[in-house]
Chains A and B, each alone.
Chain A
């Protein structure tokens, strides 16, 4: 497989459930990202990992818990979500060259469409 893959593509969960979203990139990139896209709203950056270290947490509620075991995999663990958390969750990766060199185009996965009942 090539590019960025996300599983599952669709997820319906209750507010008391615990579930996880998975992202995998086959591009040899060093940086990985989680974004949230609610209906009719812009993409919102949630988390950034660079070389497996979290470098950005954009004030995300603790009911969202990211995990990056290696540079190729990124998880988003979900627990006690609210209906307003229903959204398209997008994963992306980029090469992440040193500062001053910008070839940091992000490659996005297809997203997981999450519905919280």
Chain B
């Protein structure tokens, strides 16, 4: 089961880009990388996912290295409402299991 490693916390100034790294060196096959965030005591919210190519949506951009062993979530213009815990996970279903493993995530604090 592919696990992920993230820094426990980061600060970012409001209006600046927040770059959140994730290491998933044991990712295999066609396993996708997903990012979620959890605002205090709420259910996690899906942000973005990708396989090999960089992805962008209205919330964020996802940069995946060529060897797929790490990725970076980019919030281009962080706001105070982006303060949350961000989780990077590897979707195991393309490898035939449902053993989702959420790590401790990165607690992002956006500063005014």
> Interface residues, chain A, CB within 8 Å of chain B?
4, 31, 33, 35, 41-45, 48, 50, 55-56, 58, 88, 90, 92, 96, 99-102, 104-111, 113
Which of B62-70, B72-80, B100-108 lies at the interface with chain A? B100-108
Nearest A residue (CB) for B29: A100
Given contacts A104-B91, A105-B49, A111-B42, contact A42 B105 (CB under 8 A): yes
Cross-chain contact of B91 among A41, A56, A102 (Cβ < 8 A): A102
Cross-chain contact of A102 among B41, B45, B51, B100 (Cβ < 8 A): B51
> Interface residues, chain B, CB within 8 Å of chain A?
30, 32, 34, 36, 41-46, 49, 51, 87, 91, 93-105
A88 to B39: give the CA distance in the assembly, Å.
13
Nearest B residue (CB) for A110: B43
